[in-house]
Amino acid sequence: MSAAYTLSAATPATRSFALRWLWLGVAALIVAGLFAILLVLSRTPGVQAIIPWVDFFRTALVVHVDMSVFIWFVAFAGVLWSVTLPLGTRLNTLALLLCAAGGLLMAVLPFAGVGAPLMNNYLPVLQHPAFLLALALIGAGFGLLTIDALGGGLHWRTPFTPGDALRFGSLTAALAAALALLVFLWTLRELPTTLDAHGYFEFLFWGAGHVLQFTHTQLLILCWLVLGSAAGLAIGLAPRTVIVLFALGIAPLLYVPILALQHPVLGGESRLGYTRLMQYGGGIASVPLGLYLLWRILRDRPVLTPEQRPLRNALYSSLLLFAAGGIIALLIEGVNVVIPAHYHGSIVGVTLAFMGTAYYLLPKLGYPAPVSWAARWQPGIYGGGQLLHILGLAWSGGYGVQRKTAGAAQQLERLPEIAGMAMMGLGGLVAVIGGLLFVIVMLRSLLWRRG
């Protein structure tokens, strides 16, 4: 017997919470897209010569990553927690205001001449007090949102319905987020301030960033279940099974307190431990669910309504990109562009699931379901462009092209290197078009076609 995994926004408060966080997420993607155009052009052969902004490339990369990975993911966590857990009005509102203020400040700083980028992992930064203030505001907002979600999770009961299974998954994502924040605070306490700036921020975000990936993965699983049901797949997983799956997904995090207490934050054991935690534990639940959904897709082949087609395409594209990112991870050797090929695949897999779920939620929030050609093709265009983008990076990385470089610094000399980076540039531009289509579809519903 199949179970229908659905989300609802039954109360005005729920709809208000979800809608405000959705607006923040869309705004973050708009800003990230603007900076992505500059990033792609600055690395595309033939075009890079007329954009001699290597320093601006790095500054744009910092803002692009923080907007598209940090703020977008925080905002959509707010959306999903709003529709699955009972949240408090005051705490939720304060969290949103802090995140929005931090995001706005971050977006305008590059145009005010703020630079000195540091390309550390997870959360690259600009060495300026105003940028650090922006990150602090967003971090504080995310902390309050997480506390709010955990408080809502305390009201959870276990009649083992599909809705309760999704609520449990949402709670596990909040637990992972809380642990990531605790790891950040612990690292902040233990980290010596005598380190150079790059080393300081690299270690500061390393452990927390790896733990936070489990939040994204738990929410990815939730979205896959919702999109699969909405796209007509017969999800033959009982709620008890899904609850076990979600519990399995965060089980590796039980090792985090041991890792934090046993190894100093500057030690190689700590750095390697968090890497192994994500490498071997991050897919413990998402991989089997992804394989199961692929099997259901091949078996069911449902006849779809116009409203279902964008959701199906988002699910298919998300599964493909997430799998591609995982496969490319096996090819990583050294520090080259294979590394961004891997995490772009994984991150975009999550983003596509969030995009599809945003389409799914629009009618729940009182807006028309997107049925236009743009909504149908957007996941494929965005996902296809990103797939071409990461394949070009993986190809070039095999020839030793270094990551986080632009223009002449890439030292593209051989034809395969040039071809790979040209493929990367073409795919990136196609992906930008796909991202732009998502924003257009969302704004068309949210602004011009309110129901």
Find the mean pLDDT for residues 16-43.
Answer: 85
Residue among 194, 202, 28, 42 nearest 118 (CA): 202
| pLDDT given for residue 34 in this prediction | 83
- The answer to whether residues 369 and 398 belong to one domain is yes
Say whether pLDDT at 87 is over 80.
yes
- The answer to whether residues 284 and 402 belong to one domain is no
Going by pLDDT thresholds of 50, 70 and 90, the confidence category of residue 407 is: very low
143 located within any domain: yes
Domain around 367? 322-451
Q: What is the mean pLDDT of the chain?
A: 85
- C-alpha distance from residue 203 to each of 126, 254, 267, 274 (Å): 16, 21, 10, 11
Going by pLDDT thresholds of 50, 70 and 90, the confidence category of residue 129 is: very high
Domain boundary among 97, 130, 150: 150
The Cα–Cα gap between 339 and 346 comes to 11
332 vs 312, which has greater pLDDT?
312
- C-alpha distance from residue 22 to each of 93, 131, 295, 359, 386 (Å): 13, 23, 31, 11, 23
- The answer to whether residues 131 and 163 belong to one domain is no
| pLDDT given for residue 230 in this prediction | 93
- The answer to whether residues 19 and 135 belong to one domain is yes
317 located within any domain: no
Going by pLDDT thresholds of 50, 70 and 90, the confidence category of residue 396 is: low
Token digits of residue 332? 């990583």
- The answer to whether residues 11 and 142 belong to one domain is yes
- The answer to whether residues 83 and 134 belong to one domain is yes
200 located within any domain: no
- The answer to whether residues 143 and 19 belong to one domain is yes
- The answer to whether residues 172 and 290 belong to one domain is yes
206 located within any domain: no
Find the mean pLDDT for residues 440-450.
Answer: 83
Find the mean pLDDT for residues 387-398.
Answer: 73
Find the mean pLDDT for residues 4-23.
Answer: 90
- The answer to whether residues 267 and 172 belong to one domain is yes
431 located within any domain: yes
190 vs 116, which has greater pLDDT?
190
- The answer to whether residues 10 and 80 belong to one domain is yes
Going by pLDDT thresholds of 50, 70 and 90, the confidence category of residue 347 is: confident
313 located within any domain: no
- The answer to whether residues 398 and 413 belong to one domain is yes
230 located within any domain: yes
| pLDDT given for residue 406 in this prediction | 46
Say whether pLDDT at 318 is over 50.
yes
Domain count, the chain: 3
Domain boundary among 302, 335, 351: 302
- Work out the percent of the chain whose per-residue pLDDT is above 70: 84
pTM: 0.90
308 located within any domain: no
- The answer to whether residues 74 and 103 belong to one domain is yes
Going by pLDDT thresholds of 50, 70 and 90, the confidence category of residue 224 is: very high
